[in-house]
Amino acid sequence: MGLKKFKPTTPGQRHKINSTYKEVTTNIPEKSLVEGISKSGGRNNDGRMTMRYIGGGHKQKYRIIDFKRDKQDIPATVKTIEYDPNRTARIALLWYADGEKRYIIAPEGLKVGDTVLSGKTATPNVGHAMFLSDVPLGTVIHNIELKPGKGGAIARGAGTYAQLNARDGRYAIIKMPSGETRMILTTCMATIGSVSNSEHSLVVSGKAGRSRWLGRRPRVRGVVMNPVDHPMGGGEGRNSGGHPRSRNGVPAKGYKTRAKTKYSDKFIIDKRKK
């Protein structure tokens, strides 16, 4: 993974910083693991806009990702590292010894030709999926399950990772990407390593058109709206604003929206840093 800057031959190129895509080995996805996506443009079944600032975008196909890693004790070889338009991380195509093919989120350092394994016989190498009861303490992990067998839900974005700090009876104590420390059952699975494409946050699109390619329409600020449209709208000239809040009146910037009696509070040891 690397980044490249562009010569300012056009205004859109002047500030553009993009990935080199050196780690990507093919641009043709595995046909048996893709399916079509129909776009709604932010409209519901009546054709009315229910989500603003969505529309357009390039045609995409969805890659079916194996978040469960439930094909255990069968070795798989990494055939390709690919770009996925539906996520920030790269994906890897695995060919299992019994002939099955599956996509997984590619961890940092996984290369074509590597062998990965899942289950009790797996070792703590990059790309291997293990139960939290078997992962060595201090190991960096990603794609972590919250419920056994449900599939990985935590640390799936580009460059993210969590760390296994300790084990206490039935629970593993994990430091999350947000800084929160929480308990997760040791019967849950996780993949060793951090997620690939760690420099994704440094990419600069360079122009508004690239947002349109991604299906994002221009977002209008609340302070430039009229009072009928937003709590922060109205006022003479630039004398609008007020306390930061959403269009529905929910305060922003520091207002806690987490339920005080949320069931998962008992699993959280240390809340995330502000």
Q: Please write the tens of the pLDDT for every residue from 94-139.
A: 999 999 999 999 999 999 999 999 999 999 999 999 999 999 999 9
Tell me how crowded residue 265 is: count the other CB atoms within 10 A of its CB: 12
d(CA 199, CA 73): 33
User: What does the DSSP 8-state code read for residue 216?
Assistant: B
Q: Does a structural domain hold residue 259?
A: no
Domain count, the chain: 1
* pLDDT value at 274 more than 70: no
Place of tokens 């039935």: 170
CATH number of residue 168's parent domain: 2.30.30.30
Reply yes or no on whether the pLDDT at 41 is more than 70. yes
pLDDT for 53 equals: 96
- Does residue 94 form part of some domain? yes
What domain range includes position 121? 20-41+57-201
Mean pLDDT on 35-64: 96
Asked if 82 and 91 touch (Cβ cutoff 8 Å), the reply is: yes
Does a structural domain hold residue 189? yes
Which pLDDT score, from 0 to 100, does residue 227 have? 94
Say if 192 falls within a structural domain. yes
Report the DSSP pairing between strands 140-142 and 189-192.
antiparallel
Does some domain include residue 128?
A: yes
Global pTM? 0.91
Residue 207 pLDDT class (50, 70, 90 cuts): very high
Whether residue 160 contacts residue 142, with contact meaning beta carbons closer than 8 Å, is answered with yes
The answer to whether residue 63 is domain-embedded is yes
Per the domain annotation, does 248 fall within a domain?
no
Instruction: Decide: residue 161, CB within 10 A, 0-12 exposed, 13-18 middle, 19+ buried.
Output: buried
CA-based angle 6:7:13, to the nearest 5?
A: 65
